[in-house]
Each structure stands twice: as structure tokens, then as C-alpha cells.
């Protein structure tokens, strides 16, 4: 297998959009995410080759669950993008899923996977280059200019100022200065005020054109689908207080959080990205180009549209850049947004075909039934804007790392069994159980174990690995 085909499982719309949104928001985890995005798939490609995992209903179920979570995340980004552009979520989710099924179920679909990855990455990089050339600003210059800003404020050209934009998910905004917010469409909004040390909650039902005056320290909660218009020159609620604070993200990353993200990405990549064989020369270039491109995109978005995270979806960071920078009348922002969508769709089809191959390896002849069911489940869940795409993405990668990668690494190339069950399957069930248990009970964990609830792979993967190694030792 070539490196391009093996690497196609990795980027995907959710991962690309999540990295861009983290950089644009100045998230403390942004540097770790960028590093993991570039390095962990290369580690996966360098895995030693081993015989195929034993086909077992438990392995098939876990692999299908991982695929459903990852497809859900990717489709959610596409659905969010459609909603931000005024279309219906379910239509985008169903159409993208139907297209992926049509492509992946055709004969020799895997041979086209590398081309889809290249087409999707090239489309996004093309938009990035066009925006940089039109603005006459290199990425490193944009970084310096964004870091030098005394405050991140709404520009007069922002869609949140001119016509108002919609919230993809319910969002709570915290205001650091007085602000007058206007409702573009009727809706109900909750305002929490601090009045002399008391917390006062007020629900406002506003008609189109009605306004709310907010004071420093107030918070406003908007439901999904609400549309608001903000004042130009005011600080963006929830954004970094200044450009310097945005650029200083690396110094604020908690070590436990960074370790959890690296473990999730590294083990998740080892589970979904197969060994690349001998032809891995192009993989570092592809991973580096996508990583640098995502970082540059986030920097440009911070400079041109620091309000890119208001809507509650990482897709806004992707679409805000072509909206904010219209190169010319011959190539309007709408054309660039269309190229972005086509690039995301190509990345999704490539990732979907790679996940189909993983399910095929785990289920064999059951694929014609399992694969469409997994895609349908992902499309239905993505059509509902309840969960941020980052949640199913990290859950899928974490589950893959704990229940697929860790047992496989511990089992090695052997085929030992205990009571008729392959060791790898036993480790997979144990890792999945620990991962699910920590996820469900995360709110009940003591403060000292809170990192395990946030990133269960930190405990689930070592537990699965230890069980398999102990069983291997006792059977000798």
C-alpha cells in the first residue's frame, strides 16, 4: 500500500477544521494539536507489518463503532458548513454520506483514495494561497500582526456586524465591555447579570430588530439557530483579550491535557492508519503541508475574522476566511467558499474509504451490510446539531487507541488464544470497557483523576495492553 492511500484515513474534515479553529481561537492545546497532526500519522505509517487481526464479532463491533464516531465528526463539519451558508443540515449530511457510499462501494475504490486526498488538500491549500496573495500578507507576517493587536475586535466588514450571523449550536458568550446586541431573527435569549454581587437571570424574547444592552461581566446564552448582530470595534466575546495572549497559547497548555491529546492522537493514528510499507517517502511532505496549511489558515482567520469561533462550530473558522477576504470580483468569496466545501468533501470521501477498509479487515464478508449501516448512523447523528464535531472525533480516536491499537501492539504477531478467544480480542473488549466506563463516570471522578475522565485513553490503553501482555506470559 502506498503512503498516500494509507494516510488518507487521517486528515478528514473534522480534524482539519478542529486544528484551524484551535489556532484561530488561541486555544492552549493548539500547539500540541498542530504537532500531533503532523507527526502521529507518520509514526503510524512506520508501524511494523503484522498479520491481519483475527476476524471476530467483538472486533467488528468495536471497529464499526470507531468508524461511526469518526464519520459522525466529519459529516458534522460538512453539515455545520451547510448551515452557516443557509442550507439545511440534514440535506448536507445525507448527500455527503450518499456520495461517499457511492464511491466507496465501487470496485477498486481504494485506488482512487490517494487522489481524493490530494484533491482535497490541494483545494484547501489553493484557497489559502489565493487569500495570502490577495491580502499581500505572508503567514509569518500575519502572525506578527495578529500578535501585535491590543485587542481582538469585530471589524466593520464582519458578517456578525453587517447582516448578522447564526449560531450553529447553543452558545454562551461572556462580555468584557458594554455591548449592544441586536436580534436579526426572533428568538429567546438568556442574560445573566452580576448585580451587586448577586446573580440575576433574565430571559428575553426578542423580535427581529430588538436589542439587548449588556454590561461588563454579563453573559448571554443564544439557542441554536439564533441570529445576532454585534457592534463594530467591540471586543469579541470569548476571544483572547489581546493578540499577545492569543500568541502565547503554548505557555498555557496544562501538561495532563497535552499528554492526553498526544496519546489520543498517537494511538488513534496507529489504529486507523495502516503501515505504509516501503513507499512512505511522500507521507512526510503531505503531513507537513497539511499541518502548516492548517496553522496558516488559523493565523489568517485570527487576523481577518477574530470572531470565527462565535457560531459554535469549527467550520466557521474555515468559512470565515474566504468571507472576510474577497480577492476580486472575478473570484468572489462565494467561489472560494465553494472550493473549501469541495475540498472538505474530497477529504471526507478519502477518509470514509479508508475506514471502510478497516471495517472490511475486521468483518470480512459482513461488509456489504455493516458499512452502509455505519454510514447511515453517522449521517443521522450528524444531522442533529447537538454535539460539537470535536467530541465524536476525539472519542473515536480514543476508543480506537484503547481497544484496537493497544491490544494489537501488546499481542504482537502471534495468534494465541485463551479459552478459545484471541488475546487481541480480549484486550479490545477490556480496553473498550475501561474507556466507556471512564467516559460515563467522568463527572464522578475525584479531582486527582479528572484528567482520566477528560482523556480516558490514558488509563484504558495501558489497561488493555497490560491484560494482553499478562495473558501472553501466563500461556507460555
CATH code assigned at 224: 2.60.120.10
Residue 291: pLDDT band (50, 70, 90) is confident
pLDDT above 80 (res 298): yes
In the prediction, which pLDDT does 9 show? 79
Residue identified by cell 475574522 is: 305
Would you state the pLDDT for residue 341?
92
Identify the band that residue 108 occupies on the pLDDT scale cut at 50, 70 and 90: confident
Give the whole-angstrom CA distance, residue 246 versus residue 27. 8
pLDDT band with cut points at 50, 70 and 90 for residue 442 = confident
38 and 92 together in one domain: yes
Closest by CA position to 461, among listed 408, 414, 416: 408
**In a shared domain, residues 180 and 125:** no
**Within a domain: residue 267?**
yes
* Distance from C-alpha of 357 to C-alpha of 187, rounded to nearest angstrom: 45
Residue 246, C-beta contacts closer than 8 angstroms, at least 6 positions apart: 26, 146, 147, 152, 239, 240, 302
For residues 277 and 138, state if they share a domain.
yes
Residue 182 in grid coordinates: 441586536
Q: Is the model's pLDDT at 81 over the cut of 70? A: yes
Query: What integer pLDDT is reported at residue 112 of this predicted model?
Result: 77
**pTM here?**
0.91
Q: Which residue has the higher pLDDT, 251 or 47?
A: 47
CA distance 344 to 347: 5
Q: According to the model, what pLDDT value does residue 251 have? A: 59
109 and 196 part of one domain? no
Residue 63 within any structural domain of the chain:
yes
Instruction: Look at residue 366 and tell me if it is in a domain.
Output: yes
Let me know how long the chain is: 476
From 189, 211, 229, the end of a domain falls on 229
Considering only residues 21 and 283, tell me which one the structure prediction assigns the higher pLDDT: 21
Q: Quick one: DSSP state of residue 181?
A: E
Q: Report percent pLDDT > 70 for the chain.
A: 89
User: Over the stretch 150-167, which tens digit does the pLDDT of each residue have?
Assistant: 888 888 888 888 888 888
Residues 278 and 208 in one domain: no
pLDDT for res 377: 94
Using pLDDT thresholds of 50, 70 and 90, give the confidence band for residue 71.
Answer: very high
Q: Are residues 268 and 130 in the same domain?
A: yes
30 and 88 part of one domain:
yes
The pair phi, psi for residue 273, each rounded to 5°, is -105, 115
The pLDDT value given to residue 54: 61
- Nearest Cα neighbor of 162 from 294, 307, 303 is 307
For range 115-125, the mean pLDDT: 88
Whether 467 is in a domain gets the answer no
Write out pLDDT tens, residues 417-434.
Answer: 776 677 888 888 999 999
pLDDT > 90: percent of the chain: 24
Query: Around Cβ 108, how many Cβ atoms within 10 Å?
Result: 6
- C-alpha cell belonging to residue 145: 500582526
Mean pLDDT of 106-117: 78
Query: How many CA atoms, within 13 angstroms, populate the side-chain half-sphere of residue 320?
Result: 34
| CA–CA distance, 386 with 287 (Å, rounded to integer) | 31
Give a yes or no: residue 399 inside a domain: no
Contact status, residue 378 vs residue 348, Cβ threshold 8 Å: no
Q: Is residue 410 part of a domain?
A: no
Provide the pLDDT for residue 94.
Answer: 93
What's the rounded mean pLDDT across residues 104-115?
A: 78
Judged by average pLDDT, the poorest of 66-75, 90-99, 416-425, 428-437 is 416-425
Q: What is the pLDDT of residue 77?
A: 95
Whether residue 93 lies inside any domain: the answer is yes
Whether residues 135 and 178 fall in one domain: no
Q: What is the pLDDT of residues 362-392, one digit of tens each?
A: 775 556 788 899 999 999 999 987 888 999 9
136 plus 205 within the same structural domain: no
pLDDT, position 245: 84
Q: Are 267 and 183 found together in one domain? A: no
pLDDT of 263 over the 70 cut: yes
Answer yes or no: is 452 within a domain. no
The reply to whether 64 and 35 lie within a common domain is: yes
In which band, very low, low, confident or very high, does the pLDDT at 260 lie, cut at 50, 70 and 90?
Answer: confident
Q: Which domain holds residue 277?
A: 3-143+255-385
- Residue at which a domain ends, from 194, 214, 229: 229
Q: What is the pLDDT of residue 198?
A: 79
126/123 Cα distance (integer angstroms): 5
Please indicate, yes or no, whether residues 9 and 138 belong to a single structural domain of this protein. Answer: yes
Dump pLDDT digits (tens) for 313-356.
899 888 888 877 655 555 666 788 889 999 999 999 999 998 99
- The number of folded domains in the chain is 2
Residue where a domain terminates, one of 385, 416, 436: 385
pLDDT at position 79 over 90:
yes
Q: Which comes out higher in pLDDT, residue 34 or 333?
A: 34
CA 453 → CA 2, 22, 395, 435, 466, distances in Å?
37, 21, 12, 9, 20
In 216-332, which residue ranges form alpha helices assigned H by DSSP? 243-247, 255-272, 283-304, 315-324
Q: What is the pLDDT of residue 322?
A: 81
Amino acid at each position: 500500500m502506498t503512503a498516500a492511500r494509507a494516510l488518507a484515513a487521517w486528515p478528514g474534515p473534522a480534524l482539519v477544521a478542529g486544528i484551524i479553529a484551535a489556532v484561530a481561537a488561541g486555544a492552549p492545546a493548539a500547539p500540541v494539536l498542530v504537532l500531533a497532526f503532523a507527526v502521529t500519522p507518520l509514526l503510524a505509517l512506520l508501524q511494523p507489518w503484522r498479520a491481519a487481526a483475527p476476524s471476530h464479532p467483538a472486533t467488528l463491533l468495536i471497529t464499526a463503532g470507531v468508524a461511526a464516531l469518526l464519520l459522525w465528526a466529519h459529516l458534522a463539519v460538512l453539515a455545520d458548513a451547510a448551515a452557516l451558508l443557509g442550507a439545511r443540515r440534514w440535506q448536507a449530511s445525507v448527500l455527503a454520506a450518499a456520495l461517499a457510499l457511492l464511491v466507496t462501494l465501487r470496485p477498486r475504490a481504494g485506488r482512487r483514495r490517494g487522489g481524493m486526498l490530494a484533491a482535497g488538500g490541494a483545494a484547501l491549500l489553493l484557497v489559502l494561497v489565493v487569500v495570502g496573495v490577495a491580502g499581500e500578507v505572508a503567514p509569518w507576517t500575519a502572525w506578527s500582526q495578529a500578535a501585535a493587536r491590543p485587542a481582538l475586535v469585530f471589524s466593520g466588514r464582519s458578517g456578525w456586524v453587517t447582516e448578522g450571523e447564526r449560531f450553529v449550536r447553543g452558545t454562551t458568550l461572556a462580555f468584557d465591555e458594554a455591548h449592544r446586541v441586536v436580534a436579526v431573527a426572533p428568538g429567546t435569549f438568556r442574560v445573566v447579570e452580576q448585580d451587586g454581587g448577586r446573580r440575576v437571570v433574565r430571559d428575553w424574547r426578542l423580535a427581529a430588530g430588538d436589542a439587548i444592552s449588556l454590561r461588563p461581566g454579563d453573559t448571554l446564552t443564544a439557542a441554536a439557530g439564533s441570529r445576532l448582530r454585534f457592534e463594530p470595534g467591540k471586543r469579541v466575546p470569548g476571544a483572547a483579550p489581546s493578540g499577545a495572549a492569543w500568541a502565547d497559547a503554548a505557555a498555557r497548555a496544562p501538561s495532563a491535557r497535552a499528554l492526553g491529546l498526544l496519546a489520543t492522537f498517537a494511538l488513534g493514528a496507529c489504529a486507523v492508519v495502516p503501515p505504509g510499507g516501503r513507499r512512505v517517502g511522500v507521507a512526510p511532505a503531505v503531513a507537513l503541508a497539511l499541518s502548516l496549511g492548517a496553522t496558516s489558515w488559523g493565523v489568517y482567520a485570527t487576523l481577518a475574522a477574530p470572531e470565527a469561533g462565535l457560531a459554535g462550530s469549527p467550520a466557521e473558522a474555515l468559512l470565515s476566511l474566504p468571507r472576510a477576504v474577497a480577492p476580486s470580483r472575478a473570484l468572489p468569496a462565494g467561489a472560494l467558499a465553494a472550493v473549501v466545501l469541495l475540498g472538505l468533501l474530497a477529504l471526507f470521501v478519502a477518509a470514509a474509504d479508508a475506514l471502510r477498509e478497516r471495517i472490511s479487515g475486521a468483518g470480512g464478508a459482513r461488509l456489504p451490510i455493516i458499512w452502509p449501516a455505519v454510514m447511515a448512523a453517522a449521517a443521522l447523528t450528524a444531522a442533529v446539531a447537538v454535539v460539537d464535531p470535536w467530541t465524536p472525533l476525539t472519542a473515536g480516536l480514543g476508543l480506537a487507541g484503547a481497544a484496537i491499537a493497544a491490544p494489537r501492539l501488546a499481542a504482537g504477531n502471534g495468534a494465541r488464544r485463551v479459552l478459545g478467544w484471541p488475546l487481541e480480542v480480549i484486550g479490545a473488549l477490556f480496553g473498550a470497557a475501561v474507556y466507556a466506563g471512564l467516559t460515563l463516570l467522568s463527572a464522578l471522578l475525584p479531582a486527582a483523576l479528572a484528567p482520566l475522565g477528560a482523556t480516558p485513553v490514558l488509563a484504558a490503553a495501558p489497561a488493555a495492553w497490560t491484560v494482553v501482555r499478562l495473558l501472553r506470559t501466563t500461556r507460555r
